[in-house]
Structure 1
Amino acid sequence: MLLRWSKAVSHFSKIGTQNNLKFSKDLCAMTCQSYAKVAAAAEPTTTDFKETGFTGRPMVNLDKMFWSKPCSLALAPDSPLRVEEPNFVGIKHFFLKLMLFYSKQSKSIRGANVVYRRIISQVDKPPIYEVFSLEKTFKTTYSLLVLHMWLCLRRLKQEGKEGVEFGQYLYEIYNHDVELRVSKAGVNLLLTRWMKDLEKIFYGNIVAYDTAILPEAKPEDLSTVIWRNIFSDDGVSTPDGAALQSVQAMARYVRREVNCLSLTDKEAMYSGNFMFTPLEYQKPSTQRSH
């Protein structure tokens, strides 16, 4: 039985309110320890999960990225990327209606699948690794997946009970995908144990991100959490100059996506008709000379 994400986050958050920022740091340390165990077992055995060549300095000017004014991420009505509800007519429509194809639950599940595909599109493709100089390993991909799940779940909670229910469908789709990813990486024995460890990481990261953007949090808290959850191998070391530039750029990216999603209307969120901010990787040969 899957744990309801909203209840689990509430539980972790209540624990953290005693000392939010200290708790966030402790969770990050625990997360890195758990990653060490999980990643050792789930280290990819095929190129589907590990691609090298993303560890050099980025060929973009990170200092100039993610400063633009936030805007809605909803797709335009005429966008070819939009996914529309199937419009069946006649006898087919009648039978599908009898089969509850048009029920609120069925529509929510379809919408949640589209939302998850938007997340996967952002975290599985090269640009995000190239821009932020990340190596594509199981750990980094999973960390980015959790980060973008948090962005969506946080936005959905703003819609109250209805948004939380939609978020549960999204979480169940995510959970199934993670299980497939772990299995594909070669972990078949003790799969349930690894999934429980990843579940702890998921909730720990979500609470850490929530805590890092509280009004009382320090400006650098989000960068610290991002470093520990995504960039760092041990959760203890501090980033050097090159890494710090990437971490700070990702913190700006995250804050901007939080604000952009807040401006994205409910219909776009429930249908999945939105796109995260594009992360275009500009090679020197394609940059303008003027």
Structure 2
Amino acid sequence: QAQRGRMLHGTFQRKKTGRSQLTEVFSELIQTTGAAKWPSRTLHSTNKLFTAKDSLQPSEEKVGAFTKIIEAMGFTGPLKYSKWKIKIAALRMYSCCVERTDYEEFFNRCQMPDTLNSWFLVAHLHVWMCLVRMKQEGRAGKYMCRYIVHSMWEDVEQRGKVMGIDSVALKEGMKSMTENFYAAIFGYDEGILSDDHVLAAALWRNLFNRHCEDPGQLELVVEYVRKQMQYLDTLPGEDLLLSGEVTWRPLVETNAQSILKPPPTTYNDEGL
């Protein structure tokens, strides 16, 4: 490492008065990548290198010393809204992921088998999109994310029991699902902040389980994720925290201009 450091130091000393060759190479690569296109659609690319201080990160709420202490111990401090209201909204939001999604259309267009695992992969994709949206709402949103995931695992376990899956097999299956769930989250997060190549690769590994050979199917789901994330960003954070109501755009959009901001959700003082 010392030898390599001396070599780099000497290189930068020789180039300190002019533009380095490495910078020129990177500039050419960025220009080339930005011009890349799919055969049927323009490639979405992100040339900016995001850092932890960029605006994509939710703004940190100012909390007192006592709140910081109890949260460091694993507890949740006071939130902007009632915790039990947020829990109810989290359950509603998860219900929207599993009840308002056209699984049959996903299975047919993406050629996925009609199994519990395929259902989980599609539901997981929608849960992840909700998690990304709610994390933008500060501490209350992160608190809600915990109960969305909690509701998902309870639902998966109950569905497995109703289907008559053996308890041992169900336990092993849920263990595998848990590992795939957290691995997929990292892939999807990287894909949504990168270009369509990275997002398509994450969907191919996780949603399609590496069994997709039709690029048209990948392109369809990439477009679906992009428009859903854009649509979720139009929903007011307060409504999501108190109601949890989410509607989903169709997999195949008949009218792309129909993605409009929906009317505000109404709810009473109890959050119902």
TM-score w.r.t. the length of structure 2 is 0.57
SS in 2 for 1:159: helix
Aligned equivalents of 2:235, 2:113: Cα separation in 1: 31
Residue by residue over 1:171-217, the C-alpha shift from the partner in whole angstroms, topping out at 9 and shown as x without a partner, is 11111001112223413125444322211111111111001122xx3
Specify every segment of 5 or more residues in structure 2 that has no aligned partner in the other structure, as ranges. 1-39, 42-80, 255-272
**Candidates 116, 127, 139, aligned match of 1:138:** 116
More moved, 116-125 vs 155-164 = 116-125
Q: Is the 8 A contact 2:228 2:248 kept in 1?
A: yes
Q: Given the alignment of the two structures, is residue 165 of structure 1 paired with residue 119 of structure 2, yes or no?
A: no
Deviation, structure 1 residue 144: 0.8
Aligned equivalents of 1:177, 1:251: Cα separation in 2: 27
Q: Given the alignment of the two structures, is residue 250 of structure 1 paired with residue 221 of structure 2, yes or no?
A: yes
SS in 2 for 1:148: helix
Alignment correspondent of 1:260: 231
Alignment correspondent of 1:285: none
Q: Is the 8 A contact 1:156 1:163 kept in 2?
A: yes
- Kindly tell me the number of residue pairs found equivalent between the two proteins: 175
Deviation, structure 1 residue 158: 0.5
Taking a change above 3 Å as real, the CA distance of residues 267 and 130 of structure 1, as seen in their structure-2 partners, is farther
Q: Given the alignment of the two structures, is residue 272 of structure 1 paired with residue 244 of structure 2, yes or no?
A: yes
Greater length-normalized contact order (CA 8 Å, ≥ 6 residues apart): 1
More moved, 157-166 vs 218-227 = 218-227
Alignment of 1:72-91 (within 5 A): none
Deviation, structure 1 residue 273: 2.3
Q: Is the 8 A contact 1:127 1:280 kept in 2?
A: no
Alignment correspondent of 1:222: 199
Aligned equivalents of 1:157, 1:106: Cα separation in 2: 18
Read off the aligned partner of 1:105 and give its amino acid letter. Answer: K
**Candidates 188, 191, 194, aligned match of 1:212:** 191
Q: Given the alignment of the two structures, is residue 183 of structure 1 paired with residue 177 of structure 2, yes or no?
A: no
Specify every segment of 5 or more residues in structure 1 that has no aligned partner in the other structure, as ranges. 1-62, 65-102, 283-290
Residue by residue over 1:95-126, the C-alpha shift from the partner in whole angstroms, topping out at 9 and shown as x without a partner, is xxxxxxxx822211221121111100244642
Aligned equivalents of 2:100, 2:215: Cα separation in 1: 22
Aligned equivalents of 1:279, 1:122: Cα separation in 2: 12
Taking a change above 3 Å as real, the CA distance of residues 190 and 249 of structure 1, as seen in their structure-2 partners, is closer
Taking a change above 3 Å as real, the CA distance of residues 204 and 152 of structure 1, as seen in their structure-2 partners, is same
C-alpha root-mean-square deviation of aligned residues, in Å? 2.6
TM-score w.r.t. the length of structure 1 is 0.54
Q: Is the 8 A contact 1:119 1:149 kept in 2?
A: yes
Aligned equivalents of 1:161, 1:205: Cα separation in 2: 23
Q: Is the 8 A contact 1:223 1:247 kept in 2?
A: yes
Q: Which runs of 4+ in 1 moved over 6 A?
A: none
Taking a change above 3 Å as real, the CA distance of residues 170 and 248 of structure 1, as seen in their structure-2 partners, is same
Q: Is the 8 A contact 1:130 1:281 kept in 2?
A: no
Taking a change above 3 Å as real, the CA distance of residues 124 and 187 of structure 1, as seen in their structure-2 partners, is farther
Aligned equivalents of 2:191, 2:203: Cα separation in 1: 10
Aligned equivalents of 2:249, 2:239: Cα separation in 1: 15
Deviation, structure 1 residue 131: 4.0
Deviation, structure 1 residue 280: 6.5
